[in-house]
């Protein structure tokens, strides 16, 4: 009799515990896979596995700009940090939404690797996936989240009513948000902000640039904080089919595209476990097959044909497909551009990264330390302004001037295009209002070096530029 009672009690207890575990799992951990059919849409919005660790709960993330507008650089919510929001989408380009217990957001490749441009100020921006963003203000975004979390008003009482405007939460969900999700999010946002404290003593990245590997060195690889500055311009990812055998990254620190794609996801906040390898394989296929975008203004074809000869003579060895040195590392002493980005990456970092994913079913072993910068192919060049690894030269016209005659101060982050200079408009009232002041005298921002073609006669420069528009 007693035995039966104990058994019944145990059974009930077991059921209760089971139910609690199930409810906990369902509301906090259950992963709902989303599959986006179109490769381009997947590239822009598909999960790469960054939601688990670094993602912010979607509904909190949605209301932060309304609750804390004073921490944004402008009045248009996330758009003021350079995000591009397509009509009808739940998130901006480069932000995924995934349910892990509850909806969360995460960053995707496209937040940095999708370009926008406008032919005229009154136009809507045209989005070009896999192009380098000139607008996304990554450091501004990190600092915005940190400032929100530091604000004493970051509490359930302040946040929940604002969420209710967008989305009605059940009584149980409200409890979860109040006692678990909001406090944990705050703690994690504060920690994330602190992990970027080293940026406070170094030059601002500004829009369209990040220090890509120092966060990885100092956080993921647990290398002690040093004083290097690695600010680099975002790169285009299209047309990898023609980049077979090229090294990758501005200094060629990788030689495998698959590894570069996977390290990209870890750099964005995916963990060794949460990284979405299948989703990333689709990204790799997409950027491999994608053609570069065509120059969207008229080209003088006769001039371009003449310019091709100038290119063949002065540039092709390093930049043409099939060129002897294309896609290889050119020693820094030879190309002469700013060396900080190069010095940021060390042999120790390469070794540690190569050991980082031992034992997982993907692995890294092709990270390395080099002594120069990659002679990149110039496909889709027109949309890759400002030029060079640190984004220090606003236009092709400027790059073909001797370094001392190049523009010392300009504004970047304004996406209206200048087809004559071949680059974005980087001077004038609007560029100043929207853009970030890029001063080439700031450490790491130097526009010196790469003197190729700078002594050509003006007419050859003009035809060469016409040819470069066709790439
Ligand atoms: C926060 C911005 C950011 C995000 C997000 C990002 N990247 Fe990058 N990516 C960069 C920058 C900046 C570089 C150039 C870095 C350098 O070498 O200095 C780069 C370089 C690359 C390159 C090298 C291109 C070449 O031709 O050498 C590849 C490939 C790449 N990224 C793929 C990805 C993929 C795939 C993702 C998503 C999984 C991703 N990136 C996410 C900023 C980003
Ligand atoms: C000896 C090899 C070499 C030659 C010759 C050469 N370049 Fe380069 N080029 C490089 C290297 C290396 C870089 C990357 C430098 C950096 O970013 O610091 C580069 C970068 C560039 C970029 C910037 C690409 C981007 O995405 O920002 C452009 C544009 C360019 N070169 C055009 C030319 C033109 C035009 C010529 C011929 C007049 C030329 N180059 C000749 C090696 C060369």
Q: Which ligand 1 atom is nearest residue 265's CA?
A: 38
pLDDT > 90 fraction of the chain, expressed in percent and rounded: 89
Q: Which ligand 2 atom is nearest residue 385's CA?
A: 27
Name which of 29-38, 160-169, 176-185, 329-338 the model is least confident about.
Answer: 29-38
Q: Which ligand 1 atom is nearest residue 389's CA?
A: 18
The strands making up 95-100's β-sheet, listed across from edge to edge, are: 31-32, 95-100, 102-107
Q: Which ligand is nearest to the CA of 394?
A: 2
Closest CA to 118 of 415, 463, 372, 316: 415
The enclosing H or E element of 58 equals helix 58-67
User: Separation of 314 CA from ligand 2 center, angstroms?
Assistant: 10
At residue 358, the pLDDT reads: 92
Q: Which ligand is nearest to the CA of 319?
A: 2
Q: Which ligand 2 atom is nearest residue 396's CA?
A: 29
User: Separation of 326 CA from ligand 2 center, angstroms?
Assistant: 10
**Structural domain range at position 25:** 1-32
Does 456 fall in a domain? no
Q: Which ligand is nearest to the CA of 332?
A: 2
Does 219 fall in a domain? no
pLDDT digits (tens, 9 = 90+) for 279-326: 999 999 999 999 999 999 999 999 999 999 999 999 999 999 999 999
Does 10 fall in a domain? yes
At residue 5, the pLDDT reads: 84
Q: Which ligand 1 atom is nearest residue 111's CA?
A: 5
At residue 82, the pLDDT reads: 96
The enclosing H or E element of 194 equals helix 182-194
User: Separation of 395 CA from ligand 2 center, angstroms?
Assistant: 13
The token pair at 320 is 């043409």
> What's the domain count of the chain?
1
Q: Which ligand 1 atom is nearest residue 233's CA?
A: 12
At residue 28, the pLDDT reads: 80
Mutate-to-test residue for ligand 1 from 82, 96, 106, 109, highest number of ligand atoms within 8 A of CB: 109
Mutate-to-test residue for ligand 1 from 43, 81, 216, 264, highest number of ligand atoms within 8 A of CB: 264
Q: What is the mean pLDDT of residues 85-92?
A: 94
State CA 369 to chain mean position distance. Answer: 22
Residue 240, pLDDT > 70, answer yes
Q: What is the mean pLDDT of residues 58-84?
A: 96
Closest CA to 258 of 232, 213, 288, 234: 288
Q: Which residues of 112-122 are buried (b: 16+ CB within 10 A; e: fewer)?
A: bbbbbbbeeee
Name which of 40-44, 99-103, 236-240 the model is least confident about.
Answer: 99-103
Does 166 fall in a domain? no
Q: Does the CB atom of residue 450 touch ligand 2 within 6 A?
A: yes
Does 7 fall in a domain? yes
Q: What is the mean pLDDT of residues 386-409?
A: 98
Name which of 27-31, 206-210, 345-349 the model is least confident about.
Answer: 27-31
Distance CA 206, CA 28 (A): 36
Q: Does the CB atom of residue 388 touch ligand 2 within 6 A?
A: yes
At residue 1, the pLDDT reads: 63
At residue 19, the pLDDT reads: 83
Does 22 fall in a domain? yes
Quickly state the pLDDT bin for 130 (edges 50, 70, 90).
Answer: very high
Q: Which ligand 2 atom is nearest residue 335's CA?
A: 12
Does 271 fall in a domain? no
Residue 104, pLDDT > 70, answer yes
User: Separation of 234 CA from ligand 1 center, angstroms?
Assistant: 7
Distance CA 254, CA 365 (A): 9
Q: Which residues of 144-155 are buried (b: 16+ CB within 10 A; e: fewer)?
A: bbbbbbeeeebe
Residue 83, pLDDT > 70, answer yes
**Atom 3 of ligand 1, nearest CA residue:** 112
Q: Does the CB atom of residue 268 touch ligand 1 within 6 A?
A: yes
Q: What is the mean pLDDT of residues 129-150?
A: 97
């Amino acid at each position: 009799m007693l035995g039966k009672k104990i058994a019944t009690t145990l059974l009930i207890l077991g059921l209760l515990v089971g139910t609690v575990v199930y409810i906990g799992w369902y509301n906090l951990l259950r992963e709902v896979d989303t599959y986006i059919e179109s490769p381009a849409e997947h590239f822009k919005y598909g999960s790469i596995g960054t939601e688990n660790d670094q993602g912010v709960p979607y509904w909190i993330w949605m209301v932060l700009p309304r609750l804390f507008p004073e921490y944004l650089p402008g009045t248009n919510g996330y758009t003021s940090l350079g995000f591009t929001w397509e009509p009808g989408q739940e998130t901006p380009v480069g932000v995924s939404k995934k349910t892990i217990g509850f909806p969360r957001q995460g960053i995707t490749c496209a937040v940095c690797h999708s370009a926008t441009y406008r032919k005229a100020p009154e136009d809507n921006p045209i989005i070009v996936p896999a192009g380098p963003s000139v607008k996304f203000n990554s450091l501004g975004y990190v600092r915005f989240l940190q400032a929100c979390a530091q604000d004493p008003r970051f509490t359930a009482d302040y946040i929940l009513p604002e969420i209710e405007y967008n989305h009605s939460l059940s009584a149980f969900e409200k409890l979860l948000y109040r006692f678990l999700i909001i406090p944990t999010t705050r703690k994690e946002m504060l920690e994330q902000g602190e992990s970027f404290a080293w940026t406070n003593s170094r030059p601002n990245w500004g829009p369209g640039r990040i220090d890509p590997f120092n966060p990885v060195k100092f956080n993921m690889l647990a290398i002690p904080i040093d004083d290097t500055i690695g600010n680099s311009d975002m790169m285009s990812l299209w047309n990898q089919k023609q980049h077979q055998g090229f090294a990758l990254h501005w200094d060629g620190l990788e030689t495998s595209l698959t590894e570069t794609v996977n390290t990209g996801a870890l750099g964005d906040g995916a963990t060794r476990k949460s990284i979405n390898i299948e989703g990333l394989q689709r990204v790799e296929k997409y950027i491999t097959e994608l053609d570069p975008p065509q120059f969207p203004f008229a080209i003088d074809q006769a001039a371009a044909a003449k310019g091709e000869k100038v290119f063949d003579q002065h540039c092709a060895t390093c930049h043409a497909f099939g060129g002897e040195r294309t896609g290889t590392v050119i020693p820094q002493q030879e190309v002469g551009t700013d060396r900080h980005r190069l010095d940021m990456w060390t042999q120790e970092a390469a070794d540690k990264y190569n050991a980082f994913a031992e034992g997982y079913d993907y692995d890294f072993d092709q990270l390395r330390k080099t002594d120069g910068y990659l002679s990149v192919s110039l496909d889709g060049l027109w949309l890759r302004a400002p030029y060079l690894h640190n984004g220090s030269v606003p236009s092709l016209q400027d790059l073909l001037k001797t370094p001392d005659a190049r523009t010392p101060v300009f504004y970047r982050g304004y996406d209206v295009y200048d087809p004559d200079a071949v680059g974005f408009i980087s001077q004038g009232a609007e560029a100043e209002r929207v853009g970030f002041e890029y001063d080439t005298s700031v450490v790491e921002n130097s526009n010196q070096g790469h003197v190729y073609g700078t002594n050509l006669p003006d007419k050859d420069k003009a035809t060469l530029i016409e040819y470069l528009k066709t790439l």
